[in-house]
């Protein structure tokens, strides 16, 4: 039997609530208010260890992707996605953060491919990447929640 300290349970509940809130706002408005990554970062302080500081590097791949993306492209990786990943990386730590990022981005890519296939079959046209804007936070949130529970209970 695993005994979970109360601060881990509090962190778990608030972390999931903040991820769901960020996802809902990103779906509706395609933005992430700066307060949400800051709160996620603060929640990470409940179980702070120096090792978790390396989780801040989790936003680096998204930052590099945003820098090399076409500036004329609609959508793309925004600053909110980068801040969100960085704060989740701090809360989870680098290893669980990488797992969450891989899971979230894999689900995101799979969903985009399904959407592209659906569009080409239904409308007999190719859906170009710059013709659609998908919110990335909901997919990342699913990945980070899965990684959180993998890290916590396994």
pLDDT value for 65? 87
pLDDT value for 91? 96
Residues 6+ apart with CB under 8 A from 53: 90
At 17, list the tokens: 């609530």
pLDDT value for 127? 60
pLDDT value for 132? 64
Angle at 135 between CA 132 and CA 136, to 5 degrees: 120
In this prediction, the residues of the chain whose per-residue pLDDT falls under 50 are: 1
pTM for this structure? Answer: 0.89
Helices marked H in the chain — which ranges?
Answer: 6-29, 35-44, 60-68, 79-92, 94-123, 137-153
């Amino acid at each position: 039997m695993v005994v979970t300290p109360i601060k881990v349970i509090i962190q778990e509940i608030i972390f999931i609530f903040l991820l769901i809130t960020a996802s809902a706002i990103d779906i509706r408005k395609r933005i992430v208010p700066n307060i949400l990554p800051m709160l996620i970062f603060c929640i990470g302080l409940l179980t702070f260890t120096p090792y978790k500081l390396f989780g801040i590097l989790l936003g680096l791949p998204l930052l590099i992707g945003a820098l090399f993306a076409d500036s004329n492209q609609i959508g793309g990786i925004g600053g909110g996605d980068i801040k969100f990943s960085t704060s989740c990386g701090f809360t989870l730590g680098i290893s669980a953060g990488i797992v969450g990022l891989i899971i979230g981005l894999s689900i995101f890519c799979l969903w985009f491919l399904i959407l592209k296939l659906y569009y080409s079959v239904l409308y007999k046209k190719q859906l170009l990447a710059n013709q659609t804007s998908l919110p990335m936070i909901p997919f990342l949130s699913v990945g980070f929640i899965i990684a959180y529970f993998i890290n916590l209970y396994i």
